[in-house]
């Protein structure tokens, strides 16, 4: 008598989200959310679902960024090169953002694999980016965080602008039409934004587009430096070099976009009128809305909004990752006094606290030694009226660093306008 055959293995039932979507594999995860590919039960369409933990988001004070993101995407969903949202749902503990699936991933990943793009490919991506940002600006929205990590690709390789968490909406502008919040990724951020002064959001995006165009053609950022003060100085001096393979017409456009003076900087709209930009250009036709004005999204209450970024698993060219991984103490601050006065203050503080004070060969740099600890203070005038200084431990044991660091911070307080503990300068949100 034979034994019965074992039962055939059954496929595990798919997880169903609120009876509308079957969740598939996880695409990635971050501190506050995870993203899954999913299938619409009604239409069979593949989408991306971002699942946000409400408590973690609230604890991190991310609500303003979530509001900003969802509002910007809702107003911009007509454009084919802007990532679309289909639906927003929520439970007591989770928020679900259902959006277009960018099956091609980040443009940054493509750049990482290829190193750089040929001019024709770079022009195609730049044309799509410029079209999307021109549409944003006509709607009164500035992106303020344009970089390859925030530009996605669909299955056909078309560009999709994402991550509007730092965007500025029309209602965030002052009576003059200008913005005030300093935010973004330093290597891509316009100098006037870093300066924490009033600025034109469209012109700030123009600067970022200039950096972007340089990056996709050269394979590296024009002002990259592990020392943020040095990077600021390079930006101020327009200190960068074009690789030999970048053509003269593109050099001219990049040079005009990377003008430290926003008054004379080329706008994105002006770039679209250049001969180089128009070459091989296909007219972008705005697609119809994926949802009606009176649908669920339009009726959402403010306590169910979502989305602060699609997903960015790679630190990419964001220099903040380099500083976050450093073990030694360091900080930056904007000063109330001139760069020369910062240096004089460093010398005075060092002598008062018993440090060995050394004036370095580089202008506006002071070294202070005590025991095995060496602290460097460097100051630079980024733009007229704005002095940025960096103070960091370059030598010493961790215990000694801790014991000396606090007393140094206290001594510098009287000349500090504001402290910045990481590379990405952040102040209170426009929505706060």
Q: Taking the CB of residue 39, how many other CB atoms lie within 10 A of it?
A: 16
Binding residues for ATP: 50
Annotated binding site: 50
Work out the burial of residue 352: count CB atoms within 10 Å of its CB; fewer than 13 is exposed, 13-18 middle, 19 or more buried: exposed
Active site residue 145: yes
Active-site position among 145, 200, 205, 430: 145
Map tokens 């100051």 to a residue: 379
Residues 334, 386 contacting (CB under 8 angstroms):
yes
- CA nearest neighbour of 382 among 252, 226, 206, 261: 261
Output the CA–CA distances (angstroms, integers) from residue 167 to 9, 132, 164, 182, 207, in the order listed.
50, 14, 5, 11, 15
- The candidate with the shortest Cα–Cα distance to 423, out of 349, 320, 281, is 320
Using only C-alpha atoms, the chain has a radius of gyration, in whole angstroms, of 25
**Which residues carry out catalysis?**
145
């Amino acid at each position: 008598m034979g034994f019965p055959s074992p039962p055939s293995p059954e496929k595990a039932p798919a997880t169903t989200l609120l009876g509308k979507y079957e969740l598939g594999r996880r695409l990635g995860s971050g501190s506050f959310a995870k993203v899954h590919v999913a299938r619409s039960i009604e239409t069979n369409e593949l989408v991306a679902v971002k699942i946000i933990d409400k408590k973690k988001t609230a604890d991190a004070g991310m609500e303003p960024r979530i509001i900003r993101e969802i509002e910007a995407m809702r107003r911009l969903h007509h454009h084919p090169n802007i990532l679309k949202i289909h639906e927003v749902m929520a439970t007591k503990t989770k928020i679900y953002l259902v959006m277009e699936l960018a099956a091609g991933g980040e443009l940054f990943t493509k750049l990482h694999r290829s190193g750089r793009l040929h001019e024709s490919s770079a022009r195609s991506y730049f044309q799509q980016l410029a079209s999307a940002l021109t549409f944003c600006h006509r709607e009164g929205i500035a992106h303020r965080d344009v970089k390859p990590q925030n530009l996605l690709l669909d299955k056909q390789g078309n560009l999709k602008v994402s991550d509007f968490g730092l965007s500025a909406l029309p209602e965030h502008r002052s009576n003059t039409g200008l913005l005030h919040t300093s935010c973004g990724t330093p290597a891509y951020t316009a100098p006037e934004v870093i300066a924490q002064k009033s600025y034109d959001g469209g012109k700030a995006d123009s600067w970022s587009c200039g950096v972007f165009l340089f990056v996709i053609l050269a394979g590296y950022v024009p002002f990259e430096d592990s020392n943020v003060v040095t990077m600021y100085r390079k930006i101020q001096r327009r200190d960068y070099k074009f690789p030999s393979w970048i053509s003269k017409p593109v050099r001219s456009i990049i040079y005009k976009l990377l003008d430290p003076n926003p008054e004379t900087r080329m706008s994105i709209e002006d770039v679209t009128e250049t001969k180089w930009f128009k070459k091989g250009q296909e007219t972008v036709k705005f697609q119809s809305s994926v949802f009606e004005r009176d649908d669920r999204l339009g009726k959402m209450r403010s306590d169910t909004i979502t989305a602060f970024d699609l997903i960015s698993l790679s630190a990419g060219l964001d220099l903040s990752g380099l500083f976050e991984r450093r073990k030694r103490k360091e900080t930056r601050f904007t000063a109330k006094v001139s760069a020369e006065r910062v240096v004089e203050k460093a010398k005075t503080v060092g002598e008062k606290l018993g440090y060995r004070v050394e004036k370095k060969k580089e202008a506006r740099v002071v070294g202070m030694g005590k025991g095995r600890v060496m602290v460097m203070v460097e100051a630079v005038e980024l733009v007229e009226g704005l002095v940025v200084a960096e103070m960091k431990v370059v030598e010493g044991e961790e215990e000694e660093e801790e014991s000396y660091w606090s007393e140094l911070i206290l001594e510098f307080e009287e000349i500090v306008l504001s402290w910045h503990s990481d590379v990405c300068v952040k102040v209170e949100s426009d929505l706060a």
